[in-house]
Amino acid sequence: MTQNKRLWAAIFLAIPLLFYIVIVIIPLFSSFYFSLTDWNGFNAAYHFIGLDNFKKIISDPNFSNATKNTILWMAAAILVPSVGGLVIALVLNEGIKGSSVYKSLFYLPICLSLAVVGQVWIWIYQPDWGLINTVLRAAHLDNLTLAWLANPNTALAAVILAWSWQQVGLAMVIFLAGLTSIPTELTEASQIDGASYWQSLRHVVVPLLSPATVVVIALAVINSLKSFDIVYIMTQGGPFHKSDTLAMFMYLQSFKSYYMGYGSAIAVVLFAIALVIISFYFRQVSSLEHLYD
C-alpha cells in the first residue's frame, strides 16, 4: 500500500520536478558558476577570474547606486501602495451602496501589463502635452513643469509612482480579504465600549489585519526586487542611471554591455537578497495559513 503510494508520488512528481530543476534550479547554480568567469555572451571561450566580479561589484558606483534605488523602491513600495490600498479597502469595507463598482475600477489596473502601464504613464509625464504639465499650466504654475522622466531628480520617483498606481489594487485586494475575516461584532463591541472610529481602527482592526499586512509587505518587497519591466519601458534606468534598479542594472550589464560574467555576479547578489526575504517569509507562513483557507 505504502509502496504503491510512493510509486504514484514518484510518477506524479517526475515531470514537474524535471521542469523545475532543469529550468530554475540548475540555471541558478549555473549563474554561480558564470559569476566566476569573464564570459562575454558570444565567444565560446572564457576564463576563470575567481572573485574578481564580486570585487568589482563592491567598488562599482553604478552597483551601489542601483542598490540604493532598489532600497528606495522597496521603502516606497511598502508605504505608497500599501497605505493607499489600506485606506481604499477600509472605505470600501464600510458597506456603502455600489461599492462593487468602485472596487472593480480599483482592481482593473492589476490585469494590465506593466508594458501598457509604463506606456500610459509616459503620456502622463510627457513634457509638452502630458497630463501633469497640462494641469500645471492650466493652474498658471508653468515654472513647476518638468520633463519628469528625463529629469535626474524626478525620474525614479516618477517610475515608482506609475508602478504604485498598479500595485494599489493588489494591496487593496489583500486588505479587503483580511477585513472580511474580522468579525463585525469585534469592531461594534469596541464602539459600544466608547471607542472612536480611529481608536477601534488602531486597537482592533489594524492588529487583526496583521496577517494581511505581512503578505502585502512581503509582496511589496519581492516585487520591488523584481522591478524591471516598467523601468525598461519608461527610462531604461536613465537618465545617468538615476532610475536604475538591481534587476535593470543586471539586464543592462548582461544584455547591453555583454558583461555576462559580471551580470551573473549581480544575479548572485539578487539571489542572496531573495533568500533573506524567503526565509523571513517562510517563518511568518504559519501565522498566515488561515488566509489560504
- Cβ nearer to other proteins, comparing 31 with 62: 31
Least separation, in Å, of the C-beta of 257 and other proteins?
A: 13
Least separation, in Å, of the C-beta of 94 and other proteins?
A: 6
Burial of 96-106, coded b for 16+ CB within 10 Å and e otherwise, reads: eeeeeeebeeb
| The three cell numbers locating residue 30 | 549555473
| The three cell numbers locating residue 120 | 500610459
Least separation, in Å, of the C-beta of 237 and other proteins?
A: 14
How far apart are the C-alpha atoms of 274 and 253, rounded to whole Å? 20
Least separation, in Å, of the C-beta of 17 and other proteins?
A: 8
Least separation, in Å, of the C-beta of 228 and other proteins?
A: 6
- Cβ nearer to other proteins, comparing 124 with 204: 124
- Cβ nearer to other proteins, comparing 9 with 51: 9
How far apart are the C-alpha atoms of 247 and 223, rounded to whole Å? 11
3-class SS at 37?
strand
- Cβ nearer to other proteins, comparing 160 with 247: 247
Residue type for position 286: S
- Cβ nearer to other proteins, comparing 27 with 152: 27
How far apart are the C-alpha atoms of 48 and 94, rounded to whole Å? 62
